Structure 1
Amino acid sequence: MTATVATPAAVRPVPVVRGYRFELTKLLSQWRVRLLIAACWLAPALFVAVISRQSSLPVDTLFGRWMHATGWAGPLVILGFAGSWALPLLTSLVAGDVFAVEDRLGTWRHLLVAVRSPRRIFVSKALASLTVILVLVIGLVASSAISGVVVIGSRPLIGLDGHLLSAGDAAGKVVLAWLCALAPTLALAAIGLLGSVAFGRSPMGLLLPAMVALAMQLVQLLPVPVAVRLALPGYAFISWNGLFTSPGQLEPLLIGVAVSLVWAVVATALALFLFLRRDFTNPAHDGSGRAAITAGLLPLVALFGITVAVVAGTTGATGSGIEQDKVQQSVATSFAHLYRLQTRQLNRPAVTEDQLQTSAACTKGGDQVAAVGPGNDWRCVVSWHLPGVEAAGSAIYQLDINPLGRYVADGDGPKEVNGFFLVRTPSGDEPNPLWQFDGSIELLPSTPKG
């Protein structure tokens, strides 16, 4: 009689779908994540409802001055805040901790035995963290939009060049602006994955996305060339305002989204590379500082340099991008649109922009300073013509232009045009659209240099 030896069946790794469900369940079971989800779905609604009912508005925030006028201004105010603070913090707390939590709990060996594939573990954790981040973002936009529409109503929105967007058009562009903001959010999430893998249980991995976002904000406030601004993965948090001009300032937005997606892919690939090379037999692993620099920091620095060169070469962008001709054209266009809006408020005879022939003459700091670059010392004199009136009208505006090309035009007379916050209309006092308005200057050249 011959004995037979049974060969053990091949052990297969756990499918990605099962690993993803497991990792998603682990994330949603954390009290911190549950608290973030509740905050993102409730806090924006409360903020929009409260601010929309107050007499003072966040006029220093883009579209903040229109929160009394339309419910679609609220989601844009929330987007401005989220791009600067909320989304970097959320990506830090979710993606920046998704790998480090296993180091703190010492559960890597158990997870590897259960799943039997480091690559599938990485994919499952990345997809689970991405899902939670998407839920948080959807909560921010849905909560603020629903609250704004319920409290104020679905009304037209004034764009950044003074033209009036219908309620439907405003709603579509609000959604599109938030979709564009997903690209830099993915880039920060990928940086969070990279930090979580590279630094292990060290808190540096958790803080990395927020620190990177803060560094990018500081750079944007400096007088750096346009190509440097566009090469930063967070620029799409800023360039969405180009959707609210006519015609839209889409080139900076498309560049910002593309740059963010490239950073997201590269940072995720670097995180996967470091994760697959990790030694899981050491329970006291706290990350490798040398690997974090050579396989994490240096490739991203190189990517930034390449992106700056590509953007500068393809767009011909040089200097600050804020020039006298652009400022004059932007102010004149906004004034013409808003003048027609004021005309309708006061029940005056309708005029067209061709009839107005609006123009603006702008200077910066008097005759001693070149009329280029940001600053709060811009002064514009706007002129226009009315049909049947021989003398031209004129109005003065003081401009504060920041390095990003956004500006606030503050009316400085005459009082009949822009001297008061309110205008008396047949239906009562209403905000004067010409008293103070926001604008946006496209920093890229109108035609790329060949």
Structure 2
Amino acid sequence: MTATAAPATESAPSVARRVPVFRGYRFELVKLVSQWRIRLLVAACWIVPGLFVAGVGQQSTLPSDTLFGRWMHATGWAGPLVLLGFAGTWALPLLTSVVAGDVFAVEDRLGTWRHLLVAVRSPARIFVAKSLAGLTVILLLVAGLAVSSTTGGLASAGDQPLVGLDGHLLSPGDAAGRVLLAWLAALAPTLALAAIGLLGSVALGRSPTGLLLPPVVALAMSVAQMLPLPVAVRLALPGYAFTSWNGLFTSPVQLAPLLIAVTVSLTWTVLATALAYLLFVRRDFTNPADDGSGRRALAFGVLPLAALTAVTVGAVAVATPSTGSGITQDKVQKSLATVFGHLYRLQTRELRRPAVTEAQSRATAACTKSDGQAAQEGAGNDWRCVVSWHLPGVAVTGTAIYQLDITSDGRFVADGDGPKEVNGYFLVRTPTGDAPNPLWQFDGNVDLLDTQ
């Protein structure tokens, strides 16, 4: 009887399957949300703005030096705009720093890259998952700021019309739509700062410099916006989108600066994210000490973004006909006369006087800068204007004096300087009692681009 040996069988080698992006994204999102500082930020963004706006709306003194701040008693739609002005300067850069600026660096500090690579088996998928998780948290934070501030404003002042930056009244529905568009427009520079945070987190590793990169860049762009720079340079910086939403509250809407600013911000977002991706997939994860260097940050971060800025400045300069500061005497006079005409009609309604339209009043303005001793253009607090208007059936021309403080981004504050019956006092006596005088002090906006 012969025994037959069973043929030797070799087991097929197991093929390691890569983890799907969705599973990696869900894992990274759970990791982010499980951090106490992220939970604290989410809770703060969804609660604190509403309490702040509602509290300020109940005070007798309003932040009149802030855009739309003087209207927080009149309408709930002013609250989210006041918060948006603050968030664009401080809150959003810090939020992107905490989330995007640390999403990769935390793995370097904990030394967990090898465990994550063994589990996922794809640096590209790790990058996508981490980026999407950070984006989700940032969107949640921004949504909390917008929803909470709007809720607080409506709860304290109600769903009333909003006075635009050219003095005309926006219905509650129109104001709601423009407030939503303003917050959506602010998402573009927020994403740009988040992409810069990703780039810093990848390029600089465990260094705290990567964490500080978004607020430092935001601060630098804010300082640049305050300098007397040409319009093309101003529009070529993604931070301009934090202020260009002002044009949504004029009639006609100043869309050109907003669209340019949003496009620039999204371009920065794409470039910075692509650079971060290239750095990450080329990284040597077998070397625990290789967590980023200043040379790589310069070559893949600073230089490409600086080149993008130079290209954008050239493109904007060619595409737009405006030169210099964009603030000229004719623009200031036209903008001031438009705002005054709308607000004069509002004051007439408060005083229960016969209605007068803007066409009937025919308001005009004559403005000089530095008493005519300097160039009649540019920002400054030395603009003096005389507004003239006519009333039906009245032969005498009415006049009012205003001192204007114009900032480099085109926003101005007009402070009434008499006569006291028109703009010399912050209250007017109406048949129902004292009411805020809309002509005493008001905001306006000069379109920096030449649209004619």
TM-score using structure 1 length: 0.98
| 1:408 maps to 2:407 | no
Residues 101-120 of structure 1, C-alpha deviations (whole Å, 9 max, x = no match):
00000000000000000000
Distance (Å, rounded) in 2 between the aligned partners of 1:368 and 1:209: 42
Look up the SS of the partner of 2:402 in the other structure. Answer: strand
Q: CA deviation at 1:208?
A: 0.4
Distance (Å, rounded) in 1 between the aligned partners of 2:303 and 2:350: 58
Residue 357 of structure 1: aligned partner: 362
Residue 317 of structure 1: aligned partner: 322
Q: CA deviation at 1:316?
A: 2.1
Report if the CA contact (8 A) 1:71-1:149 is conserved.
yes
| 1:107 maps to 2:101 | no
Residue 385 of structure 2: aligned partner: 380
Name which of 422, 425, 445 aligns with 1:420: 425
Distance (Å, rounded) in 2 between the aligned partners of 1:278 and 1:204: 19
Q: CA deviation at 1:352?
A: 1.3
Residue 3 of structure 2: aligned partner: none
Residue 287 of structure 1: aligned partner: 292
Residues 109-138 of structure 1, C-alpha deviations (whole Å, 9 max, x = no match):
000000000000000000000000000000
Distance (Å, rounded) in 1 between the aligned partners of 2:71 and 2:358: 23
RMSD of Structure 2 on Structure 1 (CA): 0.7
| 1:247 maps to 2:252 | yes
Report if the CA contact (8 A) 1:103-1:285 is conserved.
no
Distance (Å, rounded) in 1 between the aligned partners of 2:36 and 2:55: 27
Look up the SS of the partner of 1:439 in the other structure. Answer: strand
Residues 137-177 of structure 1, C-alpha deviations (whole Å, 9 max, x = no match):
00001000011111110100000010000111111111110
Residue 9 of structure 2: aligned partner: 4
> Counterparts in 2 of 1:38-437, with a 5 A limit?
38-437=43-442
Q: CA deviation at 1:48?
A: 0.5
Distance (Å, rounded) in 1 between the aligned partners of 2:123 and 2:372: 66
Residues 78-102 of structure 1, C-alpha deviations (whole Å, 9 max, x = no match):
0000000000000000000000000
| 1:31 maps to 2:20 | no
Look up the SS of the partner of 2:307 in the other structure. Answer: helix
Q: CA deviation at 1:284?
A: 2.5
Name the stretch that deviates more: 49-58 or 110-119. Answer: 49-58
Residues 218-241 of structure 1, C-alpha deviations (whole Å, 9 max, x = no match):
111111101001000111101001
Q: CA deviation at 1:395?
A: 0.4
Residues 423-447 of structure 1, C-alpha deviations (whole Å, 9 max, x = no match):
1111111100000000000101123
Distance (Å, rounded) in 2 between the aligned partners of 1:233 and 1:395: 39
Q: CA deviation at 1:285?
A: 2.7
Distance (Å, rounded) in 1 between the aligned partners of 2:376 and 2:60: 36
Residues 291-332 of structure 1, C-alpha deviations (whole Å, 9 max, x = no match):
111111110000000000000000022100000000000000
Look up the SS of the partner of 2:239 in the other structure. Answer: coil
Report if the CA contact (8 A) 1:64-1:74 is conserved.
yes
Q: Aligned partner of 1:3: which letter?
A: A
Distance (Å, rounded) in 1 between the aligned partners of 2:93 and 2:442: 29
Distance (Å, rounded) in 2 between the aligned partners of 1:410 and 1:215: 30
Count of aligned pairs:
447
TM-score using structure 2 length: 0.98
Q: Aligned partner of 1:428: which letter?
A: G
* Structure 2: gaps of 5 or more residues: 1-5
Q: CA deviation at 1:391?
A: 1.1
Look up the SS of the partner of 2:403 in the other structure. Answer: strand
Look up the SS of the partner of 1:415 in the other structure. Answer: coil
Distance (Å, rounded) in 2 between the aligned partners of 1:367 and 1:124: 60
Q: CA deviation at 1:396?
A: 0.4
Q: CA deviation at 1:214?
A: 0.4
Look up the SS of the partner of 1:177 in the other structure. Answer: helix
Q: CA deviation at 1:67?
A: 0.5
Name the stretch that deviates more: 80-89 or 365-374. Answer: 365-374
| Percent identical | 73
Q: CA deviation at 1:404?
A: 0.8
Q: Aligned partner of 1:283: which letter?
A: P
Distance (Å, rounded) in 1 between the aligned partners of 2:423 and 2:294: 59
Look up the SS of the partner of 2:326 in the other structure. Answer: coil
Q: Aligned partner of 2:404: which letter?
A: L
Distance (Å, rounded) in 2 between the aligned partners of 1:440 and 1:352: 21
Q: CA deviation at 1:286?
A: 3.4
Distance (Å, rounded) in 2 between the aligned partners of 1:151 and 1:366: 43
Please identify the structure whose Cα radius of gyration is greater.
2
Report if the CA contact (8 A) 1:95-1:189 is conserved.
yes
Q: Aligned partner of 1:210: which letter?
A: P
1:118–1:286 CA distance, 2 compared to 1 (3 A): closer
Look up the SS of the partner of 2:447 in the other structure. Answer: coil
Runs of 4+ residues deviating >4 angstroms: none
* Structure 1: gaps of 5 or more residues: none
Distance (Å, rounded) in 2 between the aligned partners of 1:66 and 1:218: 27
